[in-house]
Every structure is written in C-alpha cells, then in structure tokens.
A and B are shown apart, each in its own frame.
Chain A
Amino acid sequence: AAGVIQSPRHLIKEKRETATLKCYPIPRHDTVYWYQQGPGQDPQFLISFYEKMQSDKGSIPDRFSAQQFSDYHSELNMSSLELGDSALYFCASSATPFHGYTFGSGTRLTVV
C-alpha cells in the first residue's frame, strides 16, 4: 500500500540558510499535517492543510511557511535557519471521514 513519502530523508544546512521539505500524502487523503520533533521531545504540531487550504496552525515560527499544491503534496519552507530548528520533521495525512493518520518517515534536519 502507498505510504506518506517525505523528502529528503536527511538534510544538513548552515545557520541562516533556507530549507524546503516535501511531503506526498497517500492518494485520496485530503488533509496534511506537519509536526516538529526535537531531540527527546514529543511531536509538536506546526500546521495543517485541508483541500489545499490552511486548516489549523500550531507553533510554527514566522520564519516558516507551508503550502499544499494542486496535486495535494505539501512543502514546508524554512528560512533564516537557527540551531534550534534541528529536529525531525514529520508529515502525516488523513482522509475525510477520518479513519486515522498515516505518518511519513520524517526528514531529519540538522542545522550547523
């Protein structure tokens, strides 16, 4: 069965650089969620999209932005990267009516 695909798997950036993370949800899933998980932390909700419109917003810094495209894939854009942005970034998708979330394998971002 198709899963949620995230790319890249690993990313190393320097401070003040920009990064773009991509998420391809399961076909026919209409909602995408982004989470940030710091080392030893629980996942923190950043932002979600339903049918290509922003649905909910969590603790996403102003330096970050995201969007969902016509093919339902989503991108998380991160600018002016800081050391504290080093984390695992998860994407998850779900369908309506809700039957559960499916998580991607995550993108591990390291800012040096």
Chain B
Amino acid sequence: AQTVTQSQPEMSVQEAETVTLSCTYDTSESDYYLFWYKQPPSRQMILVIRQEAYKQQNATENRFSVNFQKAAKSFSLKISDSQLGDAAMYFCAYRLLSGNTPLVFGKGTRLSVIA
C-alpha cells in the first residue's frame, strides 16, 4: 500500500521569507501523481501544485514550487515570499496515474506565518 509521510507537524515562517515543507512517500509504482493541498481555517481543500512522476521538471505555480526527487521518493514544497494568507494546514498527497484511484494523504503540516 502507498503511504505518505510528512515529518513536520508544525512549521513557522516570517512574512516575506521562504519555507520548505517536507514530504516522502512509499510506492512500488513508477507512474503516479503527487499533490500539495492547502486547507485554511475555512477547511476548504485547495490544490496548490501538482507533479506528474514521469515529468523530470519540477512544477511551479507562482510563489510555490516543488523539489521532486523520484529516486529518493521525496516531494517537498517551497513557498517563497510567504504571506499571511499562506497560513494553513498543508497536505501532501499521492495518486496512481491510472484508473480512478483515490488520493492518499499525509498527516499534514500546520504552517504559521509571523508578521
């Protein structure tokens, strides 16, 4: 079974600084997707960024970028120029490429942004 591990239950960052959230996963598959979701206090689940495992290039979405290391099964999220609105719970998630399989989530990292 696939598992997703987020080893940092809580992180904090100063406004305008950069923070990196860690995620590792375990799978025997070679084709899959990886995601970072943000869950603010409203508890809405918001997609931050997505990475296809067959793509070597790291995904980037504005201030958000990932460092995808397939051999190490590592998928970290870097948030640059942190803003107060970035404060939320961040979940790393995995999904097989094929079929209609569900997401497998990590336990999450609570990010605080200090003004």
A residues sitting closer than 8 Å to B (CB atoms) are 31, 33, 35, 37, 41-45, 48, 50, 55-56, 58, 88, 90, 92, 94, 96, 98, 100-101, 103, 105-106, 108
Contacts and interface: CB of A to CB of B under 8 A. Distances in A.
Where chain B touches its partner, the secondary structure class is: loop
Given A42-B91, A42-B108, A58 B102 contact: yes
Interface residues of B, number: 19
Contacts of A45: 102-104
The CB with the most chain B CB atoms within 10 A, among A45, A90, A98, is that of A98
30 contacts: A33-B102, A33-B103, A35-B102, A37-B43, A41-B107, A42-B91, A42-B105, A42-B106, A42-B108, A43-B45, A43-B91, A43-B103, A44-B105, A45-B102, A45-B104, A55-B100, A56-B100, A56-B101, A56-B102, A90-B45, A92-B45, A92-B103, A98-B100, A100-B47, A100-B50, A101-B47, A103-B45, A105-B43, A106-B43, A106-B44
B43 A88 contact: yes
Given A55-B100, A103-B45, 13 more contacts: A35-B102, A42-B105, A48-B100, A50-B100, A92-B45, A92-B103, A94-B100, A98-B97, A100-B47, A100-B50, A103-B46, A105-B43, A108-B43
